[in-house]
Structure 1
């Protein structure tokens, strides 16, 4: 009887541990600028850069994009990003990272990971998840607020 109960409960325990998660080291106010340089990552889907540029417009940041491999002005707040998509009946962001640099020093970083497990919360709105990454990076949102959005199905 105990074995049957364990077999019934185990999938729920495994999926609970496999929900998408954000981690962040936000950019401190002293390092934030209204002007941002984004280094394009050619290997990442265009929706990522498009989402970042839309966030810039919506949040009144002036963003310029430079080519992959470029060395932007180290004095400017510069964002680099990389993301990997996975497939499980449809595509979803499996993991993504945005790093912020100023004066050649990393001043912030945000990561998103959605394990390819039985939990359906791995599927979500890619644009909203990228937007949330930027909100976290710039300290406009907390990790607990972002996790609540995932649990509620908002993102």
Structure 2
């Protein structure tokens, strides 16, 4: 009985390191329907494309800014970063989207599956996860 309990405890402890974390602080209402996104050439282009599509579906107009552009370029500006890893298949291990209003942080969404280990949830499609993050980050349609 004790050895069985010990095995279960060890298994639970090992699986506790297989966590995927997601944290979203939604933005407040914006008067602007334009969101400027500062390009990050270190991230796969498909991330920007998915981010742009998710915002467009919510009624926002997206303006792509060159890498290194100042946050004061637009009233609502966003930056992003993401990384992919290989574990039986490629998956998005980390994503971070920050939204600024008048160059001050206004919202943030972070997804971290880098410690996902044996958690099969980490294999969610990147576009689906990005859309989920945007839906939580921008809970209202543009202008509402």
Query: Normalising by structure 2, what TM-score?
Result: 0.85
**Equivalent position of 2:81 in the other structure:** 82
Q: Give secondary structure in 1 for the equivalent of 2:22.
A: strand
Is 1:2–2:6 an aligned residue pair? no
Query: Aligned-pair distance for 1:3?
Result: 2.8
Q: What's the offset of the Cα at 1:17?
A: 5.4
CA-CA distance at 1:16 after TM superposition: 5.1
1:32 touches 1:138 (CA, 8 Å); kept in 2?
A: no
Q: Number of aligned pairs?
A: 139
Look up the match of 1:55: 54
Deviant stretches of 4+, over 3 Å: 72-75
- Structure 2, unmatched stretches of 5+, are none
Q: Write out per-residue CA displacement over residues 15-42 of structure 1, whole angstroms, 9 at most, x where no aligned residue.
A: 355332210111112x463111011111
CA RMSD of aligned residues (A): 2.0
SS in 1 for 2:24: strand
Q: Is the 8 A contact 1:41 1:81 kept in 2?
A: yes
Give the drift of 1:75.
Answer: 4.7
Are 1:105 and 2:89 matched, yes or no? no
Cα distance in 1 between the residues matched to 2:31 and 2:6: 50
Could you say which residue in structure 1 is the equivalent of 2:125? 125
Distance 2:126 2:46 in 1: 8
CA distance in 2, matches of 1:15, 1:87: 19
How many angstroms apart in 1 are the aligned matches of 2:31 and 2:95?
Answer: 21
Helix, strand or coil at the partner of 1:28: coil
TM-score (norm 1): 0.79
